[in-house]
Amino acid sequence: MEVIMKTLNSNDPVQNVVQVLEKQYLEEKQSALEEQRMMYEHELEQLRQQLSPERQHQHGRDRLSYTAQTAQQKVNIWTQERDELFRQSLAKLREQIVKANTLVREANFLAEEMNKLTDYQVTLQIPAANLSANRKRGAIVSEPAIQVRRKGKGTQVWTIEKLENKLIDMRDLYQEWKEKVAEIRKPIGKKGDPFYEAQENHILIGVANVFLECLFYDVKLQYAVPIISQQGEVAGRLHVEVMRVTGVVPERVPEGDDSSENSSESGSLEIMDSNGEIIHRAKKLTCRVKIKEATGLPLNLSNFVFCQYAFWDQCESTVAAPVVDPDVPSPQSKEPQFTVTFSHCKDYVVNVTEEFLEFISEGALAIEVWGHRCTGNGSSIWEVDSLHAKTRTLRDRWSEVTRRIEMWISIQELNEMGEYTAVELHQAKDVNTGGIFQLRQGHSRRVQVTVKPVQHSGTLPLMVEAILSVSVGCVTARSTKLQRGLDSYQEEDLNCVRERWSDALIKRREYLDEQIKKISNKQEKTEDEIEREARLLEQWMGLTEERNAVLVPAPGSGIPGAPADWTPPSGMETHIPVLFLDLNADDLSANEQLVGPHASGVNSILPKEHGSQFFFLPIIKQSDDEVSATAAWDSSVHDSVHLNRVTPQNERIYLIVKITVQLNHPAAMELVLRKRIAANIYNKQSFTQSLKRRISLKNIFYSCGVTYEIVSNIPKATEEIEDRETLALMAARTENEGTSDGETYIEKYTRGVLQVENILSLERLRQASSKERRSNGNLKTGKILRRCLW
């Protein structure tokens, strides 16, 4: 093996992957150690706060010294295990690279000798096992694979094992071919051509990971799980259901509990009643897995799609076949993405053990999605469809980083019974705030603010803890005849999103122009260069479509800033403003403490707001069932004549209600929301107004709202300068060639595929939020934490 390693060219691009991975591993190791150190320092600080002064004086030094030693031991053990795992996986990768290059050289020699017009190259891809959330952390993600190309045919990707088996038949065929040199060489017989598969077997589209933490709760998880391809990109979504049918899962012992060690040693899984007596042992649990459909699949792999998975300790894999309906059109349609329907439903009975509890707490059900390549995938029609499909994926990209929330406002006044009741909200065509609050002159008031989720509006894990503050200001009077009405729409953050998006597209366009020019200036082009030029031109065309989406997004396209294409509910504003959190795209972390004057949304001011004074209102009540707060409002603090006198008939009074909410996810931060409201101050209702009120009693509204679109960051895929699939080809094909930014193709590809762990971490949060939404929906009564997880 060492001799073969030395014979490899030192500039071999795939061999350079090892050096890149070693460098990146050392950087990640240093940052991970720093995170571990900070975490254990935080634990020590919590212990200090828990100890009383007397106990601190008596036991503090010994206890904290012991805890510090234990924490350091944990860090050392974790570091050793991670280093050992990386060394093992790196040694395996080196061995695979050596083996792949050896096999490819032999296969190319045999193909050239026999004039097979077939070329074999080493490329990189992520194996199915490494796309699972259950894989060991720290191991190298990618592995070498063999790209098989035949002139006039499509490209195939083989595993090293497959090429190794094919080489046996190649050698036999080559020997027969040499023996018949003097004779007329006959075509290949029934054995088939080992150099290229005329009928390719099923191809892995990707893996969907369903996290099983929902089995701890009596709630059904319904979720569209992203299908992660072997290039680390989302290749569609698998709609699944996972639920607990029968059985009870014991509650998990919190980490750090002194009794956790004894509990795990005894293996006790008893369920106790309210009196603390054991009523039975939880031995069996029935889990149900449903696979409904797969959507957004690539069209060229949408022929006979099926799913395969193994649940917990099942020896054999379960296969979910598609529903074949002759009335449904085949994938040969113009639709660039295809939907496959399944009717798979299966129950699994498992033994509840400590190992199973640990698995559903941290692990996931990895469902492999397989497909077959459709006929004609090499034609230009399919290339156009591929372009349209990439345009369609813009919606999916933005869906992962966006979420919509509603901010509702109602105003309460004292009635004749001495109770605070909501005032009426009258509708008017010239008012864009959702209605006009009817406020009595000189009455004491309260402002109630509620923040609600919008279902099916994105998959960004957004968790609001509570409303921290409520303020009112910017009192403005507008003429109904001479001036336009105001609303809560602003484009400060939308312009920031578009600017960031445009910068990424400009960078990608410059890169593509450079690469295309480099190839087009060559007098003679190889077959590889012709293929790369076609791929670059295809990406350049897709870039044009994406650029148009930035400037003029289509209505209902799901892209921030798209024109409103909906019928809002009564009291809701039509236009949807954007708030940009500007988080780190890798882990959704904030670059700074986004609190107080640095909170997100502080500078997202509304028209006519600049320089206005706001008054904070004392919060007197918080809701336990939803994110809602009620604050006392004394309008005299504004010292505004518009709020003290009766409003003239041709005038509208506008105010801005500004709130600060605490977010726990996607990051611990504060967020400022604004809602402009319209008000009409009256003394007493006239007879005509009273009569109209009685006639239209059924159409009276009491609250108005605005919908915000929260954008966490620019999609990661948008910031990549080249498709990951073509980067994989260049990483394995080009000899250590660099791009204009000084980074090699290998480094770009490796940095991209290592984001799979981040994708899975964010997906765990999204599925947990989906489970929590359904759990909170089922709990109509009872004590609920004052927070809303969306």
CA 677 to chain centre: 34
| 3-state helix, strand and coil shares in percent for the chain, rounded to the nearest 5 | 35, 30, 35
Instruction: Give yes or no: residues 462 and 594 share one domain.
Output: yes
Q: Residue 139 and residue 630: Cα distance in Å, rounded?
A: 52
Instruction: Give yes or no: residues 569 and 657 share one domain.
Output: yes
Instruction: Give yes or no: residues 566 and 545 share one domain.
Output: no
Per DSSP, 219 falls in state: -
10 Å CB burial of residue 725 (0-12, 13-18, 19+) is: middle
Both tokens assigned to 769: 């939020």
pLDDT at 310: 92
Residue 264 maps to a domain: no
**Short-list 230, 409, 461, 212, CA closest to 312:** 212
Q: Residue 31 and residue 35: Cα distance in Å, rounded?
A: 6
pLDDT at 288: 93
Residue 601 maps to a domain: yes
The CA angle 616-620-621, to the nearest 5 degrees, is 125
Instruction: Give yes or no: residues 640 and 614 share one domain.
Output: yes
Instruction: Give yes or no: residues 33 and 102 share one domain.
Output: yes
Residue 389 maps to a domain: no
Q: Rounded to 10 degrees, what is the CA torsion of 175, 177, 180, 184?
A: 170
Both tokens assigned to 361: 């707490």
Both tokens assigned to 168: 């046996």
The CA angle 273-276-278, to the nearest 5 degrees, is 65
Instruction: Give yes or no: residues 226 and 331 share one domain.
Output: yes
The Cβ of residue 341 has, within 10 Å, a number of other Cβ atoms equal to 16
pLDDT at 63: 42
Residue 359 maps to a domain: yes
Chain segment 236-267, per-residue pLDDT in tens: 889 999 999 888 777 654 444 444 343 333 34
Q: Are strands 463-479 and 578-580 parallel, antiparallel or unpaired?
A: unpaired
pLDDT at 675: 97
- CB neighbour list of residue 504: distance below 8 Å, 6 or more residues apart: 714, 718, 719
Residue 735 maps to a domain: no
Instruction: Give yes or no: residues 692 and 776 share one domain.
Output: no
- Coil, helix or strand at residue 763: helix
Cis peptide before 666 (omega within 30 of 0): yes
Residue 718 maps to a domain: no
| Concatenated DSSP letters of 52-73 | -HHHHHHHHHHHHHHHHHHHHH
Q: Residue 367 and residue 238: Cα distance in Å, rounded?
A: 9
Domains contained in the chain, number? 4
- CB neighbour list of residue 685: distance below 8 Å, 6 or more residues apart: 693
- Coil, helix or strand at residue 545: helix
- Residue range(s) defining the domain that contains residue 543: 496-551
Q: How large is the C-alpha radius of gyration of the chain? A: 32
Q: Residue 531 and residue 526: Cα distance in Å, rounded?
A: 9
Q: Residue 785 and residue 783: Cα distance in Å, rounded?
A: 7
Chain segment 194-235, per-residue pLDDT in tens: 888 877 678 899 999 999 988 888 888 888 898 998 888 888
Instruction: Give yes or no: residues 100 and 125 share one domain.
Output: yes
Instruction: Give yes or no: residues 151 and 229 share one domain.
Output: no
pLDDT at 211: 92
pLDDT at 597: 86
Residue pair 784/776 in contact by the 8 Å Cβ criterion: yes
Q: Which of 531, 551, 571 is the last residue of a domain?
A: 551
CA 529 to chain centre: 35
Distances (CA, A) of 286 to 289, 312, 362, 380: 10, 12, 19, 50
Residue pair 348/312 in contact by the 8 Å Cβ criterion: yes
Instruction: Give yes or no: residues 349 and 243 share one domain.
Output: yes
Q: Residue 75 and residue 40: Cα distance in Å, rounded?
A: 9
Q: Rounded to 10 degrees, what is the CA torsion of 524, 526, 529, 533?
A: 60
Residue 556 maps to a domain: no
**Short-list 550, 497, 510, CA closest to 721:** 510
Residues of the chain with pLDDT under 50: 1, 3-4, 7-8, 10, 50-61, 63-64, 66-68, 182, 184, 189-190, 253-268, 330-336, 377-385, 387-388, 391, 734, 779-790
Interior/surface letters 410-441, b for 16+ CB within 10 angstroms, e for the rest: bbbbeeeeeebebbbbbeeeebbbbbbbbbbe
Instruction: Give yes or no: residues 247 and 309 share one domain.
Output: yes
Q: Residue 288 and residue 69: Cα distance in Å, rounded?
A: 45
Residue 721 maps to a domain: no
Residue pair 400/414 in contact by the 8 Å Cβ criterion: no
Per DSSP, 597 falls in state: G
Instruction: Give yes or no: residues 164 and 21 share one domain.
Output: yes
